[in-house]
Amino acid sequence: MSLIKVLIIDDSAVVRQILTATLGKDPAIEVIGAAADPVFAIEKMNKQWPDVIVLDVEMPRMDGITFLKKLMAERPTPVVICSTLTEKGAATTMQALAAGAVSIVTKPQLNLRKFLNDTADELASAVKAAAKANMKRMVPSGDRVPPRLSADVILPTANNALPRTTENIVAIGTSTGGTQALELVLTALPRVCPGIIIVQHMPEHFTAAFAERLNNLCEIEVREAKSGDRVIPGCALIAPGGRHMLLKRSGAQYQVEIVDGPPVSRHRPSVDVLFRSVARSAGSNALGIIMTGMGDDGARGLKEMRDNGAHTLGQDEQSSVVYGMPKEAFKLGAVERELPLEHISAAILQSMHQRS
């Protein structure tokens, strides 16, 4: 099998050196070059085109956003954004994702070498996921592997006996390619729609900027969730990066709880944790949707939702940027039916009138 050819674009010589060494350790990856800015990068790319580009967003001569737009218009290529872990840079990174980038890898301002060495597996996984990305769907609008934990570390499995309420809720889980997928789904929804809770795999600090961007684009309200927020019609709550989100029942109402805890299915927030909490608290009053993403986070949780009476949907392979999470959920029997991305918003509206 051929190696994944990677080009690194970052104005920091230290970052270029560390990323080259870190990625070069993975036997499936070949770093074919590094450039200080997109202008230099274009010269290298004309000689050898990469399979994946690791790109900074703030650079001299040509910034990452301008380069991304040019790249996606002329020759769409998977891009992983390598951005500083700050709230200031989050808004710019959201623009990069909107312009067609596949995912984010964060880098701190201090202790950079140690951080990137400690997250070598995460970085390599992001590059491998990007290499598998279906770019037709990306239309602009350490060596130690942590133990694989299940949702049991956050909360026990669901109980079947739940009193009925009149409130329907929608739970969505997604990862690679999900920022654009969520934008397409949520911008198509009118304000009269069920309350929505979302886990999008995204680092800390970036979810607030992502929610703010969607809120400015959507008719519904979209915001980063806080503990105690009610799940109400016409509002979508996005789990904050770095923490898990649970659905709780309070009488006839639903609210979310934001909790700390270890990564589940190697993610925090985890879709499995959200879906299990929905299975426990909402049962047949819920619609679960699993969309584009690498890995299998959410598959088991969605199966628990279906087993407890919820309707469940999976994004189909043709419309997924990475058909990983939906595929694993389908294989597990968690998906009631698969739909193209363009049909998911209509299915959400139909769920307002569905009862098991």
Where in the sequence numbering do the catalytic residues fall?
Answer: 175, 201, 297
Alpha-carbon gap, residue 92 to 157, rounded angstroms: 39
Question: 119 phi and psi, to 5 degrees?
Answer: -110, 30
> Is 252 strand, coil or helix?
coil
What are 245's strand-pairing partners?
A: 258
Determine the distance from the C-alpha atom of residue 277 to the mean position of all C-alpha atoms in its chain, rounded to a whole number. 19
> Is 39 strand, coil or helix?
helix
**13 and 41 in contact (C-beta within 8 Å)?**
no
**149 and 265 in contact (C-beta within 8 Å)?**
yes
**Which whole-number Å values give the CA distances from 289 to 201, 225, 275, 304, 333, in the listed order?**
15, 18, 9, 13, 13
**60 and 37 in contact (C-beta within 8 Å)?**
yes
Contacts 24+ apart (CB under 8 A), 91-96: 91/209, 91/212, 91/213, 92/57, 92/58, 92/64, 92/65, 93/57, 93/206, 93/209, 94/179, 94/206, 94/209, 94/210, 94/213, 95/57, 95/65, 96/55, 96/57, 96/64, 96/65, 96/68
Helices (H), 75-119: 87-98, 112-118
Hey, what amino acid is at 201?
H
Indicate if the alpha-carbon torsion angle 92, 69, 116, 178 is positive or negative: positive
Tokens of 251: 């009488």
